[in-house]
Amino acid sequence: MTRSKLFLSLLLAGAVGSVSAQSLKDAKAAIAEERYDEAKGMLQRLVEKKAKDGENWFYLGQIHLINDKVDSAAYAFNQGVTNAPKEKLNNVGLGIVDLMKGDKVAAETKFSTAVSDLGRREYLPLLYVGQAYVKAPEPDYTKAIEYLTQAKAKNQKDPDILIALGDAYAGMGESSQAFVSYRDAEYLDESLLAPKIGQALISRRAQAYDVVIESLTKLSGENPDYAPLYRELAETYYLSSLKAPEDSYREINQKALEFYQKYLSLTGDATVEAKTRYADFLVYSGNYEELKTVAQELANMPGVDAKVYRYLGYIAYNQDKDYAKAAEHMNTLFSKVEQERLIPRDYLYAGLANLSVGDAEKGEALLKQAIENQTEEDNLETEIAETAFAKYQDGEVEEAVKIFRIPAVNPESDYYFDANYFVGLGQYTKGSRLVSPAEGEEITPELGVQKIAAAKPVLDEAIKSFATVIATEKEDVKKKYLVNSLYYKGLSELALDGVMYDPENAKGLFVDSFTQLLQSVQNTELPETTVNSYIVDANNYLGYYFYLKGETEKAKGHFQETIKVSPDDEFAGQFVDQL
């Protein structure tokens, strides 16, 4: 999807060759309406009949780029250079290939060659270079405006120059200048839809999705057969769904799916390339159920792009919960697809899958790369955290802990304290099971030594994570997690203390945590029943410890505090009577 967007606007402009004007015009019209398979057929026939016409090779190369076939595009551009060396557009095309591969220096060299020695009225290479920088994987809007301004100086009458300038200014966040450029393009040709769409998308960048939807809906009513409008509606509804309340997210996201399906029906394109672009949209919009159907179709189609492993991997992870299969598919994707074609979300799911199958080192490295590579449109750190939360809620606690460890070691993360709290909680749960005697086991100091040794690494991690939360000065974090963290840190320390197995040698590791808990528990918004249960547990554990150490008055005081909130507590009652 990203690459089809990258070159969509490049395909809307250009000169018409004198020999094959009508045929090339028809191909460009099909491209403008995103009927790419139809345009590809026309252009293939054109290059067979008129191999010396360099423009035909240039547009054919652009179709290959839209279909994410970079090698095929490079072949077409090279054929254009060989057959029509005077046509400079194919050098622009080769520069775009370099730009897609991340080789900016090589791209600039080819662009410079393409725009050198231009005639007084020759401006198309400048226009296409400017558009390339606007739509590049890493846009350079300053360079784009530099080239487009030169193109405008040579031709004041081509609205495509103004549309491209509008796109560049919009990308820079210069909404007013973008609007003026789109408006001026409309003045030159009122029949064009691109500047009208551009004006609507200014509001999309400002997340005013209702405004965009209203504008695009109006345009689609006036131009019901113009397919690109429905793709833009699909993408806008998807972005809108991300900001919607949870109870309306699915409904809005479904509209995005319906508009993309409408777009496909209007283009009439059922090729493997069109299905692949549809699958890309489903990936970005998170429609994994539909993606599963499409991916299974693609997997059985000849000539399918290796990106199919992306779709299969995402489905295995999100839908089937088959983490081994997900890791297999994602690792295959990484082995078969060039690095520049990978997207940040690939690193996300490859990381999650490898974590889940036990390759923690590889999984963590991939997740860190996902965060490092994410663009402004991605929010992978949130996705990582939400994945961990969902797994925790679904009872996949160990899987959740593995994922939470990523933000838990990054103090700059918005989820730093949440992640540490849930790592602590998950590891306490696991550690308390490890330290507890199995049914029928005789409780002895020797058994305690074995159990505690097995549980210690897990419980130590829990204690460390809770300590991170407890140490914060952030009031919102303390209000949310402080009391719980003190309680479970105390329980983790209690498990390591060996009180259950060898009470006479208890060290009191938990005393400080439970003492702090009793000091903090009145300033919490936890339910009263939870607060009371924490007070009872803390006082009973402290009372028992002081009883063991012969500090009778301290022990009695704690048991009496228990009885204040729970008069029928049998454990505290027995000790109060005895003491």
Instruction: Read off φ and ψ for residue 71, nearest 5 degrees.
Output: -65, -40
Q: What is the pLDDT of residues 355-375, one digit of tens each?
A: 989 898 899 899 989 988 887
* Alpha carbons 187 and 53: distance in angstroms, whole number: 32
Q: Answer yes or no: is 491 within a domain.
A: yes
Rg (CA), the chain: 32
Q: Answer yes or no: is 519 within a domain.
A: yes
| Burial class for 362, CB neighbours closer than 10 Å (0-12, 13-18, 19+) | middle
Contacts of 280 (CB under 8 A, 6+ apart): 1, 2, 4, 307
Q: Answer yes or no: is 445 within a domain.
A: yes
Q: What is the count of structural domains for the chain?
A: 2
Domain end marker among 112, 138, 155: 155
Q: Answer yes or no: is 328 within a domain.
A: no
pLDDT number for residue 182? 96
Tokens 């309306």 locate to: 248
Residue 507, token pair as written in the block: 């060290």
Tokens 């792009």 locate to: 305
* Alpha carbons 302 and 427: distance in angstroms, whole number: 48
pLDDT number for residue 324? 95
DSSP 8-state assignment for residue 523: G
* Contact in structure between 291 and 314 (CB atoms under 8 Å): yes
b (16+ CB within 10 A) / e for 459-494: bebbbbbbebbbebeeeebbebbbbbbbbbbbbbbb
pLDDT tops 80 at residue 16: no
Query: 3-class DSSP state for residue 157?
Result: coil
Phi-psi region of 156 (alpha: psi -120 to 50; beta: other; left: phi over 0): alpha
| Burial class for 261, CB neighbours closer than 10 Å (0-12, 13-18, 19+) | middle
Q: Which amino acid is at 268?
A: G
pLDDT number for residue 514? 95
Q: Which amino acid is at 572?
A: A
Please report which confidence band the pLDDT of residue 525 belongs to, taking 50, 70 and 90 as the band edges: confident
* Alpha carbons 473 and 416: distance in angstroms, whole number: 14
pLDDT exceeding 70 applies to what percent of the chain? 96
pLDDT number for residue 242? 83
Q: What is the pLDDT of residues 230-244, one digit of tens each?
A: 999 999 999 998 888
Residue 400, token pair as written in the block: 């959740």
Q: Answer yes or no: is 482 within a domain.
A: yes
CATH classification at residue 476:
1.25.40
* Alpha carbons 518 and 565: distance in angstroms, whole number: 13
Q: What is the pLDDT of residues 49-80, one digit of tens each?
A: 999 999 999 999 999 999 988 899 999 999 99
pLDDT number for residue 1? 40
pLDDT tops 70 at residue 2: no
Please report which confidence band the pLDDT of residue 556 belongs to, taking 50, 70 and 90 as the band edges: very high
* Alpha carbons 277 and 283: distance in angstroms, whole number: 10
pLDDT tops 60 at residue 8: no
Q: Answer yes or no: is 422 within a domain.
A: yes
CATH classification at residue 83:
1.25.40.10
Q: Answer yes or no: is 448 within a domain.
A: yes
Q: Answer yes or no: is 360 within a domain.
A: no
pLDDT exceeding 90 applies to what percent of the chain? 70
The reported pTM is 0.73
Domain end marker among 487, 506, 526: 526
Domain that holds residue 407: 382-526
Domain end marker among 155, 179, 200: 155
Tokens 């009496």 locate to: 560
Angle at 105 (CA atoms; ends 101, 108), nearest 5 degrees: 95
